[in-house]
Chain A
Amino acid sequence: MNIYRDESNPLFQYVVGLGDDALILGHRWSEWLSKGPNLELDIAASNLALDLIGQANLLLEYAAEVEGAGRSADDLAYLRDTQDFRCHWLCEQPNEDWGVTIARMLMFSTYQYLRYSALMQSTDRQLAEIAAKALKEVTYHRRFAAEWTVRLAQGTDEGHRRVQNGFNILWRFVPELFETSGGERTLANDGIAVASDSLEADWRETMDEVMTKAGVSAPETSGRVMASRHNGHHSEHLGHLLCEMQFLQRAYPKASGATW
Chain B
Amino acid sequence: MYTTDLRTAEEKAAAEKAGLKLAENPESIAELEEIFQARIDADEYIEPKDWMPDGYRKTLTRQISQHAHSEIIGMFPEGNWVTRAPTLMRKLILIAKIQDEAGHGLYLYSAAETLGTSRAEMVDQLLSGKAKFSTIFNYPTMNWADIGTVGWLVDGAAITNQIPLCRCSYGPYARAMVRVCKEESFHQRQGYEALLAMAKGTDAQRKMIQDAFDRMFWPSLMMFGPPDSDSMHLSQNTIWKIKRFSNDELRQRFVDATIPQAQHLGITIPEGIVFNEETGHWDFPDLDWDEFWAVVKGDGVCSSNRMDARRKAVDDGAWVREAATAYAEKQAQKSSAA
**Using a CB–CB distance below 8 Å, which chain A residues touch chain B?**
23, 27, 30-31, 33-43, 46-47, 49-50, 53-54, 56-57, 60, 73-74, 77-78, 97-98, 150-152, 154-156, 158-159, 162, 244-245, 247-249, 252, 256-260
Decide yes or no whether B102 CB sits under 8 A from chain A.
Answer: yes
For A260, what are the chain B residues with a Cβ–Cβ distance below 8 Å?
A: 86-87, 90, 144, 194, 197-198, 201
| Subset of 23 A-B contacts with CB under 8 Å | A33-B95, A34-B98, A37-B316, A37-B318, A38-B317, A39-B72, A40-B106, A42-B75, A43-B99, A46-B99, A47-B99, A53-B91, A53-B92, A77-B88, A151-B323, A154-B327, A159-B320, A159-B322, A159-B326, A244-B84, A249-B86, A252-B205, A259-B201
Closest partner residue, chain B, to A29 (CB atom): B95
For B198, what are the chain A residues with a Cβ–Cβ distance below 8 Å?
A: 259-260
Q: A34-B75, A39-B105, A247-B84 are in contact. Are A46 and B327 (CB under 8 A)?
A: no
B202 contacts A50, C-beta separation under 8 Å: no
Q: A33-B95, A247-B84 are in contact. Are A155 and B325 (CB under 8 A)?
A: yes
Knowing that A37-B317, A40-B106, A258-B204 are A-B contacts, what are 17 other residue pairs whose CB atoms are under 8 Å apart, sorted by A's residue number?
A: A31-B83, A34-B98, A41-B320, A42-B75, A42-B99, A46-B95, A46-B96, A53-B92, A54-B92, A60-B88, A98-B317, A155-B324, A159-B327, A162-B319, A244-B83, A249-B87, A258-B205
For B90, what are the chain A residues with a Cβ–Cβ distance below 8 Å?
A: 260
A53 contacts B88, C-beta separation under 8 Å: yes
Interface pairs A-B: 10 shortest CB-CB: A37-B317, A159-B323, A155-B323, A46-B99, A155-B327, A37-B320, A34-B79, A34-B75, A260-B86, A248-B86
Closest partner residue, chain B, to A241 (CB atom): B83
**Using a CB–CB distance below 8 Å, which chain B residues touch chain A?**
72, 75-76, 79, 82-92, 95-96, 98-99, 102-103, 105-106, 144, 194, 197-198, 200-202, 204-205, 309, 312-313, 316-327, 330
For A156, what are the chain B residues with a Cβ–Cβ distance below 8 Å?
A: 319, 322-323, 326
